[in-house]
Amino acid sequence: MNYFDPHIHMNSRTTDDYQRMYASGIVGVIEPAFWQGQPRTSVGSFVDYFNMLVGWERFRASQFGVHHYCTMGLNPKEANDLSIAYEVMEILPEYLAKDGVVAVGEIGYDDITPEEDKFMAEQLQLAMQFNLPVLIHTPHRDKIGGTKRTIDLIREVGIAEEMVIIDHLNEQTLPLVMETDCWRGHSIYPDTKMSEERMVQLLRDYGTEKMVVNSAADWGVSDPLKVPKTGAVMKQAGYSDADIEQVLFFNPIDFFAQSGRISREAVQTPIKVDQTKLWESNSALRGQQPIVEL
């Protein structure tokens, strides 16, 4: 069975992860622009990072048979650094126009500050301008309050709710999003956020429509195989292969397909791996024998 992980930070993962993911059935990923773990010191750091997302990382994924797409945005944690945030907003439109960019994101709230309000609203407006979907991060603290404020701001700006996915939902916040037309994202983590078993219970309670599952794997303690592992638990719970494929493959692709830059057909088309190729004179290999699929 094919799987799709619509929220995973592959820049912080190894090529071993790509190999394990592909072997587990993950044939496509979306990598949202993300906080790097420490404050950035200049807008040039964002330029290099954004270029990597649409360049090297997309190439590296293809070398292991994985379709790579990304989203571009000013992360809520970084929105509070006004010395850089304004400059990031100036360059962002250039990247929203690039191939492989399927949404604005991840944006949203961290500490729910006025600065986060401002830049989230501006990026929602950019999404409307570029006719792109939006990936929204709900905060780790005051998650209920942050989710309510997210929904309020979506409605204040006036973006179509079906163009928005609200991520990192749980048992307390999913009911709030169920009252909207937004899509519903869930991050499956080791020990925290949402487990595979809790996710299956949510599917039992709320159905499969607009439900999306991701690993959100990054440089922290996380697991890039959480999507297929959720599929295994769904299977044990009695879900059909068709239901599993709908939730863990078609649903996320159908949401981001609203960008016009990704489709079921594209992701279902296997990549012919040619590891003799280079990206700006660089290879993903380190002396290994290249794999070339004819």
Q: What is the pLDDT of residues 247-285, one digit of tens each?
A: 999 999 999 999 999 999 999 999 999 999 999 999 999
pLDDT above 90 for 32: yes
pLDDT of residue 198: 97
Mean pLDDT computed over 94-98: 98
Distance (Å, whole) CA 224 – CA 283: 23
pLDDT of residue 191: 85
Strand, helix or coil at 185? strand
Of the pLDDT bands very low, low, confident and very high (cuts 50, 70, 90), residue 55 is: very high
Q: Would you say 160 and 187 are in contact if contact means Cβ atoms under 8 Å apart?
A: no
Class of domain 3-268: alpha beta
Phi, psi of 283 (to 5 degrees): -110, 155
pLDDT of residue 47: 97
pLDDT above 90 for 16: yes
| Least-confidence region, from 138-142, 155-159, 198-202 | 138-142
Question: Of all residues in the chain, what percent carry a pLDDT higher than 90?
Answer: 96
Mean pLDDT computed over 1-12: 97
Q: Distance of CA 84 to CAs 40, 47, 94, 143, 204, Å?
A: 8, 12, 17, 26, 44
pLDDT of residue 281: 95
* CA neighbor of 3 nearest in space, from 293, 271, 224, 200: 224
Q: At what angle do helices 196-206 and 226-236 cross, to 10 degrees?
A: 60
pLDDT of residue 193: 77
Give the DSSP letter of residue 248. I
Mean pLDDT of the chain: 96
pLDDT of residue 141: 87
Dihedral over alpha carbons 170, 172, 173, 177 (to 10 degrees): 110
pLDDT of residue 119: 98
The model's pLDDT over 178-236, given as tens digits with 9 standing for 90+, comes to 999 999 999 999 988 799 999 999 999 999 999 999 999 999 999 999 999 999 999 99
pLDDT of residue 73: 98
Of the pLDDT bands very low, low, confident and very high (cuts 50, 70, 90), residue 166 is: very high
* CA neighbor of 273 nearest in space, from 250, 260, 292, 258: 292
